[in-house]
Amino acid sequence: MSHAESLPRGSVEDDRVPCGEEGCTRFALRFATMCALHLENPQDWRAAVVAHKHELEGAYLEETDLRDLDLSGARLKKADLWGARLEGASLDGAELTTADGTNLRLENASLKNANLEGMNLTRAQLGGADLSGACLDGAECLEMEAPGAKFAGAHCEETNLRRAVLEGADLSGAKIIDSDMWETKLSRANFTGAELRESQLACSTGANVIFKNANLRAAKLPRVEWDSPDLSGADFCGADLEGAILKNIEADAQTILFEKGGALKIFGGGGKLKGDDPLMSPAKAAALAPVYEAFAAAFDSAARTKEAKHLRSRAEACRKKSAD
- The distance of closest approach from Cβ of residue 34 to Zn ion in the complex, given in angstroms and rounded to an integer, is 6
Run of H or E residues at 207: strand 205-207
Binders of Zn ion among residues 296 to 315 (CB under 5 A) are none
- Is residue 64 involved in binding Zn ion (CB under 5 A)? no
Q: Are 135 and 155 in contact (CB under 8 A)?
A: yes
Handedness of CA 33, 35, 40, 45 (dihedral sign): positive
- Is residue 156 involved in binding Zn ion (CB under 5 A)? no
Interatomic CA distance for residues 194 and 156, integer angstroms: 11
- Is residue 39 involved in binding Zn ion (CB under 5 A)? no
Tell me whether strands 245-247 and 225-227 are parallel, antiparallel or unpaired.
parallel
- Is residue 16 involved in binding Zn ion (CB under 5 A)? no
- The distance of closest approach from Cβ of residue 103 to Zn ion in the complex, given in angstroms and rounded to an integer, is 20
- Is residue 239 involved in binding Zn ion (CB under 5 A)? no
Handedness of CA 20, 76, 139, 12 (dihedral sign): negative
- Is residue 19 involved in binding Zn ion (CB under 5 A)? yes
Single residue of 21, 63, 68, 300 touching Zn ion by CB under 5 A: 21
Binders of Zn ion among residues 129 to 148 (CB under 5 A) are none
Please give the single-letter amino acid code of residue 93.
G
Structure-derived torsion over alpha carbons of residues 47, 49, 52, 58, reported in degrees to the nearest 10:
180
Single residue of 29, 32, 35, 39 touching Zn ion by CB under 5 A: 35
- Is residue 185 involved in binding Zn ion (CB under 5 A)? no
Structure-derived torsion over alpha carbons of residues 209, 212, 213, 219, reported in degrees to the nearest 10:
20
- CB nearer to Zn ion: pick between 60 and 191: 60
Single residue of 16, 38, 52, 312 touching Zn ion by CB under 5 A: 38
- The distance of closest approach from Cβ of residue 118 to Zn ion in the complex, given in angstroms and rounded to an integer, is 28
Run of H or E residues at 42: helix 42-51
Q: Give the footprint of Zn ion on this chain (CB under 5 A).
A: 19, 21, 24, 26, 35, 38
